[in-house]
Chain A
């Protein structure tokens, strides 16, 4: 096929993704007197960050004065089952305070202590009350604030633009290929430095708390570009997702419910966490609570709809109404008044601990390609503490933005390979032109069901082998035959899903292949057939080999302060 028409947009720093990390990176980069462009699949302000509810971890000690960065560091590493890159954790816990003050400086409104400081609440596996919050819509507060800050800044926003491929020239990031979702035009963004801030991929699972856009675009694009990824097998299943109605299945029920004192009950009315983690009860790690709930359900002690009960009926109404207002609204839509009745909950795919491998400059293994937020790996190890993700977006967003800006100042604009661009747009166009093939909706259904059945909370060799085999087949047979049923480029969700499907398959394969490689249980990765000889104290790094095959290798942990016991 001949060259398809496209338009090229030049800038100094390109940020891909406009959630918490992307916006923060763009704002930081723009401080360096550079032309910064941010592109986003969704409208500015609508990113998944707005759905984060509970809070932002920072050891300010406003409520518990004994808290400090050392304790936050320790809690994070212990919570992460010692798989965290401790150099990155150091950055997270050290910078979290300045970054939350940055948010306040540009207008964020967090809830207060009686002294007028930022209030902090308890969250799972933390030694002190550390989680700053704005009711139970903390992510929304941060997203709104960052949107305001972007509107103040000189950043150029291209929203509803979908990046499909990272361009690499002579081993250096050079920009991305993209589609304008509104009108269907092909675009090329060229930049001196690129920041990936594309979020997670909960949508590869049938039951997820994630927004529809979280399909793993960044993982797949980085992989295809040759960057290394780490810890992809580590998926956090949030213990409390909604169970019904069916259309709300998987929607997040914030950890703040348990943080404020909510208790978990089985169908016999037993507070079953006493059986599993009597010391910390409902505030055990997310992986631990999720497995406890699933065990209750699998052993017949669950609710009729396949969950357990989460009750706050014993809490003062004023606490519920002031600190859990979104939950009241969310369950009212499902016909449940949580002030009087228990919620039904069960685990839901929530967060990717793994992702693009970054160094302490937030740079990936490709020079000029930076990354921040959920699309990166290493900060959270085998399990992320509730409240550490919002902090991650701000700390590493700012770091990536700053270093991308400095990189852009030191380097010129790299050339691009026009054949590569042509091939990419031909690939996208082919999905529209194909005479016959598989519909994106059917393909997606097959993939998400496979992942939910075989790569979920309880994993074993048989299921994982099956998943890997199936995913390799899907990659070879389904992806090249995806067909959009209506040949329209102007705002065509069928086409968008077809493009996303390719990203989902690559992401799913990385998850399943790494999970198969890890024979023991560690962090969120739990094998029912765990090999007792595998202590699990390593990371798995994935990259695309020179032959185009997926290469996985074990790597030593990065330890600075706390060696595993």
Chain B
């Protein structure tokens, strides 16, 4: 059998001799199971022994070999090569000055680590032996696995804009020490000083972490919750959301007539239904995007699904979970669970559909484990994002095809809390491709954060706008007429950035409904 070859484009730069960096392309023989590190070693062996990159253990234990692989930083020894996926592009980590080729200068990070007092601080000698119980170190043990590969620092959207933020790896170390019963330092003050509120909870760090450490949940949100518990105030914008939730059950003030109040009924039933779901609207669809809510009901109805829209709903309290106000967060979790369990009982259903990425993530990743732990049983309903429900539950082959042609070049922005938060990656794109006339343009950076989440838009508007600007440029680079997404926060954030430009921002249910309606007119 002939050896399969693939191309690797490798960043080359020797500042002593080169005016500027350039890429060099190599032909590499593929072997099943091949990693990026194997590829680099192959190139070093066959073509150029001076190709500079770091590696030591080849087994994901030392954290030396992180590089950017097709735009995203990962450790090379555990990143598998796909020879059919176009050229493999390898670049040095971002935010670190290049020494040569893929080798970068880590000295700034090392200084940053040092300044948080990154060790157990004690005020008296340790007893020998020291009694520490397993339960005291359970969470600590999870976030202790970090091997300092620096990949998360390269991928972090907040750190990309400012070194004011210490970045995921270092915030994790602060949490590791906060969780250590032996450490006496005031880690909350250090976390605040290191801008723990700069994190958008986009989960990029968790996604690429070779040890799968849940940094946003186990470090960032933990430290924020402890800060709130210690009496540190939230930013004004963030506290505004919390107050609003506690007062009204909605995170934003009312403007136009809310969706729930304007709906004629709570039941949207069809003849011969093939399914029945409850619709969790979330605050923004109820109060700001009423049309999107109606589109969602319409799309489901057109596909033979009964939709129940409880008139009394409550905020999922995502802003409270993200910023650390656990009292508000947990009250909301109990309340939302009760509302939807009652609806499930009353209408004989077990499925809740959401169209808001933030709400869906919160219901699944925050409410569910909290309720399960508090009462020993998780909520008695499943949660689906609309696109996920259409493709995975109804089934692509069973979806009533939208007929109206929309002559558009559309790209997709993947909401962090949909893709990494709920594992819904391909379904929205599949739906886009089902709309006649739509030409889908892939954005290699589609899963990058827009800067709206994690309380950053509310609390750190300047930083949020910088992240959004970076994202805007990536979207513009696709040349698409329209960017579709599946989250009200992303829609608003990107909409703000696109003001005065020709690129439209649309919510996926609206786009689908538009095609259905146009199809009706045409026939």
Contact = CB atoms under 8 A, between A and B. Distances in A.
B345 interface: no
Task: Categorize the interface residue count of chain B.
Answer: 35 or more
Given A247-B38, A490-B100, A335 B33 contact: yes
A432 to B, nearest CB: 10
Interface in B74-110: 78, 80, 99-101, 103, 105-106, 110
- Which of B32, B62, B110, B131 has the most chain A CB atoms inside 10 A of its CB? B62
A63 B52 CA distance: 48
B49 A494 contact: yes
A183 interface: yes
Nearest to A135: B141
B189 interface: no
B3 interface: no
A182 B100 CA distance: 8
Contacts of B126: 101, 104-105
Given A107-B119, A497-B49, A51 B62 contact: yes
B129 A333 contact: no
Given A107-B120, A485-B49, A493-B52, A117 B129 contact: yes
Contacts of A485: 48-50
A280 interface: no
B113 A151 contact: yes
Interface stretch (A42-50, A532-540, A551-559): A42-50
B58 A45 contact: no
Contacts of B59: 51, 248, 251-252, 330
B133 interface: yes
Interface stretch (B143-151, B246-254, B478-486): B143-151
A118 B129 CA distance: 9
- Which of B38, B53, B54 has the most chain A CB atoms inside 10 A of its CB? B54
Given A101-B128, A333-B78, A488-B14, A43 B106 contact: yes
A116 B131 CA distance: 5
- Which of A114, A144, A183 has the most chain B CB atoms inside 10 A of its CB? A144
B61 A486 contact: no
A338 to B, nearest CB: 15
Contacts of A48: 56-57
B132 interface: yes
A35 to B, nearest CB: 18
B14 A246 contact: no
B130 A104 contact: yes
Interface string A439-452: 11100000000000
Contacts of B101: 491
Contacts of A211: 56-58, 62
25 contacts: A42-B62, A45-B62, A46-B57, A48-B57, A51-B59, A105-B122, A105-B125, A106-B119, A107-B119, A107-B120, A107-B182, A109-B141, A137-B145, A140-B61, A144-B147, A144-B148, A151-B119, A247-B31, A247-B58, A248-B59, A330-B59, A334-B33, A441-B49, A488-B50, A493-B52
Interface of B: 14, 16-17, 31-35, 37-38, 44-45, 48-64, 78, 80, 99-101, 103, 105-106, 110, 113-114, 117-120, 122, 125-126, 128-134, 137, 140-141, 144-148, 180, 182-183
Interface of A: 42-48, 50-51, 60, 62, 98, 101, 104-107, 109, 111-112, 114-118, 134-135, 137, 140-141, 144, 147-149, 151-152, 182-183, 211-213, 245-248, 251-252, 326, 329-330, 333-335, 439-441, 484-486, 488, 490-495, 497
